[in-house]
């Protein structure tokens, strides 16, 4: 089965992110495909490379980066939600006249069309968060 996932809660603030990650791992372990993970609303904060959790805590951003890279999962951050929260990739930072970007490896910024496409092309779109 082909799944896509939407995460709309930030890391370390809500169980949704951890649940989405565990769901993705379990689905992959059972031989399913994860086509895309779309990060929306506060969920875009799962894709900032500036996250520095305590050493004895899980590093949620790195977990997503590694899972996406290892399994060829498209990790998409909603551009409108990202801009509102100060997350920019290199191209968007230049376009906005900013001197830095902060998107973690394996993530990319795109629009809501990617969520719609994921819903159409996947067998199931599973939503985590409000």
Q: Which residues are catalytic?
A: 78
CA distance 76 to 38: 5
Contact 123, 3 (CB under 8 A): yes
Backbone angles phi, psi at 78, to 5 degrees: -60, 125
Burial class (CB in 10 A: 0-12, 13-18, 19+), 110: middle
């Amino acid at each position: 089965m082909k799944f896509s996932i939407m995460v709309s809660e930030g890391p370390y603030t809500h169980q949704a992110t951890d649940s989405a990650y565990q769901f993705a791992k379990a689905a992959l372990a059972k031989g399913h495909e994860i086509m895309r993970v779309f990060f929306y609303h506060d969920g875009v904060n799962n894709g900032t490379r500036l996250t520095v959790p305590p050493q004895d805590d899980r590093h949620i951003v790195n977990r997503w980066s590694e899972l996406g890279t290892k399994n060829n999962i498209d990790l998409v951050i909603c551009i409108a939600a990202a801009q509102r929260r100060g997350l920019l990739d290199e191209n968007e930072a230049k376009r906005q006249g900013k001197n830095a970007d902060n998107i973690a490896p394996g993530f990319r910024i795109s629009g809501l069309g990617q969520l719609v496409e994921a819903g159409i092309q996947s067998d199931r779109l599973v939503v985590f968060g409000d």
